[in-house]
Amino acid sequence: MENALFIYNTLTRTKELFKPLNAPHVGMYVCGPTVYGDPHLGHARPAITFDILFRYLKHNGYKVRYVRNITDVGHLEHDADEGEDKIAKKARLEQLEPMEVAEYYTLRYHHAMEALGVLPPSIEPHATGHIIEQIELVKEILANGYAYESEGSIYFDVEKYNQNHRYGKLSNRNLQDVINNSRTLDGVGEKHNQVDFALWKKAQPQHIMRWPSPWGYGFPGWHTECTAMGRKYLGDHFDIHGGGMDLVFPHHECEIAQAVASQGDEMVHYWMHNNMITINGQKMGKSLGNFITLEQFFTGNHEKLDEAYSPMTIRFFILQAHYRSTVDFSNEALKASRKGLERLMDAIKQLNNISATENGEIDKAYTASLRDKCYEAMNDDLNTPIVISHLFEACHIINQLTDKQTTITPDALEELKAIFQTFSFDILGLRQDADGNEEREVAYSKAIDLLLEIRQQAKANKDWSTSDRIRNELSALGFEVKDTRDGVTWKLNK
Ligand code: ZN
C-alpha cells in the first residue's frame, strides 16, 4: 500500500507530508553520543526514536542512508565555547589516550544499543576522522565573510549573518532574546559579540587533542562536525536531521547558520526532535543522584531501582509515549511496561496454538481494519503508543480465541500473525526477551523439581509404576533426568 507519512518538522512547526528529495533514496542524519561516559537513558530515547523512523522508512521501500556520528572531540564542558573538552578531561584524569576513552565508551554504547534492539546506522563517522572536512567548512564560511579570526580562533559572526538571514528560526527566538539570555563568561573577550560561536578553537598548550590548521594548532568547535559530515555523506541537501530537543539550541541552530553561510542555502529539509526523559519528575543529572546508566537499568544495580529492567522493557516503555511527549521514568511505570510487554509477547506465542475454522467469526474484514489502523498511527508522525494500543486490542481477541470464546477463519489467522510480525518485530523492533520471561522460567523449573520430588517419594515407597511414568513422560517431552549420587539432575534437551 502507498503510505502517506506525515512528520512534524521543527523548522515549520507543522506536520508535513514526507516527500524525499531523491526517492527512493532517503538521507537521514542523527546526532550521536559524545563518548566520555557510560550510555544512559538520555542516549536511549533518540536512538530508539530514530531507529523507529529508520525501520519504518525501510519498511515503506525507501533506501535509507542513516548517518549517526560519534562526537569524540570539541564538546566542551559548557555549551558555550569555554571549559575543557569532556573527552580530554576524562583522559587526563585517568591518564589515558583520549582515543582510548572514546573507543571504550563507543563500544559500551554499541553494546547497549544492540541490547535495546537499535539497528546500527549505515555510517557512523567520528568527528576526529573528519578534521579536514571541518577545516574546509570553516574556510568557506570565512571566505563568505560570516566568520572572523581572533587570537588564533575562528568565530561565527552571528550579527552579520542575521542581517541577511534569520538566526534563531529553528528555535523560534530572535537575536535580541538570544543576546539577552547569553551568559557572560570569562574569556569571551576575543569574540566580537557574546552570541558568536566558535568554529575553530586555538589549542592551549595543555590541550592534548589538537590538529594543525591554517590558523595554527587547534580543534574544531562542536557544531562544525555535523554540518561537515552530513554534507560529506548525504550531500548539500538531504532529507532528515534529528536529535534530542536539547540540541535545537544552540547546536542545530548553529548548524543551519553554518550551512547557509557556507553554501548559500539550507542543507536539511525536515528537522525532527524527540522530547526529553525525566526520572520521578526530575531532570536526570549527576548532581541530583538520579543519574542511572543503561547497564544499571539492565542489572538493577542502582539504589533508585526496585529491580532489573530488561532492555526490551526499556524500549517498550519509551515506545509507549509519543516521541514528542516527555517520558517520566519510575519503578511503577517500568513494571507496568514489563507486564504490558509480557502480555503482548504471550499473545504472539498463543497465536501459534490457535486453530482456524472455515466459517470463523473473525474474518479478513477485522484484520484489514487492524492493519489500516496500525499504519494510520505510524503515518501520523510515528504514533507508536497508538499502534501499541491497537495491538493490545488484538491481544484481547487472541485471548478470546485461546479460550474458544470466538473463532477465526484461516486467512484471517494468517493475516493476524503477519500483522504482529510486521508491527511488533519489524517496525517497533521488539523481540522475545529471555530476561523478560525469567519469572516464567523459574516457575517452570520449580514445577519440574516438584515432579521429581514426587518421583523420589514414589521410589521410596516402591511405587515403581508412578516413578517410571514421571521419568518416561518427562523424557518424552525432551527432559533428560539423571540419578546421581548427589541427587537427581535434569536438563531440557532442545
Ligand atoms: Zn550534531
CATH number at residue 344: 1.10.730
**What are the backbone dihedrals phi and psi of residue 110, each rounded to the nearest 5 degrees, phi first?**
-60, -45
Matching residue, cell 514421571: 470
Indicate whether 171 and 135 sit together in one domain.
yes
Indicate whether 450 and 475 sit together in one domain.
yes
Q: Which domain holds residue 411?
A: 279-427
Distance 410 CA to ligand 1 centre (A): 50
Query: Is the residue at 432 inside a domain?
Result: no
Query: Is the residue at 227 inside a domain?
Result: yes
C-alpha cell recorded at residue 6: 506525515
Query: Is the residue at 2 inside a domain?
Result: no
Per-residue HEC secondary structure of 23-54 comes to CCEEEEEECCCECCCCCEHHHHHHHHHHHHHH
Indicate whether 195 and 337 sit together in one domain.
no
The pLDDT value recorded for residue 189 is: 77
Residues in the chain with pLDDT values less than 70 = 1-2, 77-80, 182-188, 433-442, 486, 494
Distance 252 CA to ligand 1 centre (A): 7
Distance 71 CA to ligand 1 centre (A): 8
Distance 255 CA to ligand 1 centre (A): 8
Query: Is the residue at 486 inside a domain?
Result: yes
The pLDDT value recorded for residue 442 is: 65
The answer to whether 210 and 145 are in contact (CB under 8 A) is no
Distance 226 CA to ligand 1 centre (A): 5
Query: Is the residue at 407 inside a domain?
Result: yes
Matching residue, cell 541490547: 115
Distance 225 CA to ligand 1 centre (A): 7
Distance 251 CA to ligand 1 centre (A): 7
CATH code for position 128: 3.40.50.620
Q: Where are the alpha helices (DSSP H) in 121-240?
A: 131-143, 158-164, 175-181, 224-234
> Which of 258, 274, 290 delimits the end of a domain?
274
> Which of 427, 456, 480 delimits the end of a domain?
427
Distance 483 CA to ligand 1 centre (A): 62
The answer to whether 375 and 419 are in contact (CB under 8 A) is no
Between helices 224-234 and 131-143, what is the axis angle to 10°?
Answer: 100
Indicate whether 248 and 388 sit together in one domain.
no
Distance 298 CA to ligand 1 centre (A): 28
> What span, in angstroms and rounded, lies between the C-alpha atoms of 111 and 168?
37
The answer to whether 35 and 209 are in contact (CB under 8 A) is no
> What span, in angstroms and rounded, lies between the C-alpha atoms of 366 and 396?
13
Pairing outcome for strands 327-329 and 6-9: unpaired
> What span, in angstroms and rounded, lies between the C-alpha atoms of 395 and 11?
39
Q: Which amino acid is at 360?
A: G
Distance 247 CA to ligand 1 centre (A): 8
Q: How many domains does the chain have?
A: 3
Distance 54 CA to ligand 1 centre (A): 18
Q: Which amino acid is at 2?
A: E
pTM: 0.86
The pLDDT value recorded for residue 254 is: 97
> Which of 246, 274, 302 delimits the end of a domain?
274
The pLDDT value recorded for residue 266 is: 97
Q: What is the DSSP string of 250-297?
A: IIIHHHHHHHHHHHSS--EEEEEEE--EEETTEE--GGGT---BHHHH
Indicate whether 112 and 200 sit together in one domain.
yes
- 481: part of which helix (H) or strand (E)? strand 479-484
Indicate whether 327 and 252 sit together in one domain.
no
CB atoms within 10 A of CB 410: 12
> What span, in angstroms and rounded, lies between the C-alpha atoms of 332 and 320?
14
The answer to whether 268 and 238 are in contact (CB under 8 A) is yes
Distance 70 CA to ligand 1 centre (A): 9
Pairing outcome for strands 25-30 and 238-244: parallel
Query: Is the residue at 300 inside a domain?
Result: yes
Indicate whether 116 and 221 sit together in one domain.
yes
Distance 76 CA to ligand 1 centre (A): 14
How distant, in Å, are the alpha carbons of 11, 155, 222, 347 from that of 158? 19, 9, 16, 56
Q: Is 256 exposed, middle or buried (0-12, 13-18, 19+ CB in 10 A)?
A: buried
For residue 157, which of 143, 170, 177 has the smallest C-alpha distance? Answer: 143
Q: Which amino acid is at 237?
A: H
> What span, in angstroms and rounded, lies between the C-alpha atoms of 101 and 89?
10
- 487: part of which helix (H) or strand (E)? strand 487-492
Distance 198 CA to ligand 1 centre (A): 15
Matching residue, cell 477463519: 409
Distance 242 CA to ligand 1 centre (A): 8
C-alpha cell recorded at residue 459: 521410589
Distance 32 CA to ligand 1 centre (A): 7
What are the residues whose beta carbons fall under 8 Å from the beta carbon of 487, sequence distance 6 or more? none
Distance 1 CA to ligand 1 centre (A): 34
Distance 31 CA to ligand 1 centre (A): 4
Query: Is the residue at 147 inside a domain?
Result: yes
Distance 164 CA to ligand 1 centre (A): 24
The answer to whether 170 and 249 are in contact (CB under 8 A) is yes
Distance 220 CA to ligand 1 centre (A): 13
Query: Is the residue at 1 inside a domain?
Result: no
Distance 30 CA to ligand 1 centre (A): 7
What are the residues whose beta carbons fall under 8 Å from the beta carbon of 440, sequence distance 6 or more? none
Indicate whether 23 and 161 sit together in one domain.
yes
Distance 228 CA to ligand 1 centre (A): 10
Distance 223 CA to ligand 1 centre (A): 6
Distance 283 CA to ligand 1 centre (A): 21
Indicate whether 266 and 398 sit together in one domain.
no
Distance 297 CA to ligand 1 centre (A): 26
Indicate whether 59 and 95 sit together in one domain.
yes
Indicate whether 289 and 421 sit together in one domain.
yes
Indicate whether 163 and 21 sit together in one domain.
yes
Distance 454 CA to ligand 1 centre (A): 63
